[in-house]
Amino acid sequence: MSLTVLKIMLVLGISGHALNMYCDRILSIFPNGKLTLADLKTFGKDDKLAKIIEGVSKKVPMRSAMASMLVWILLI
**56 within 8 A of 31, measured Cβ to Cβ:** yes
Q: What is the pTM of this model?
A: 0.62
Rounded-to-integer distance, Cα 36 and Cα 29, Å: 9
Split the chain (76 residues) into runs of 10 and give each run's mean pLDDT.
88 85 81 76 74 80 82 74
The parent domain of residue 62 ranges over 3-75
Q: Report the pLDDT value the prediction gives residue 3, as an integer from 0 to 100.
A: 92
The CA-atom distances, in angstroms, between 36 and each of 9, 41, 43, 61, 64 are: 33, 10, 11, 17, 18
pLDDT at 26: 80
Distance CA 18, CA 23 (A): 9
Number of domains in the chain: 1
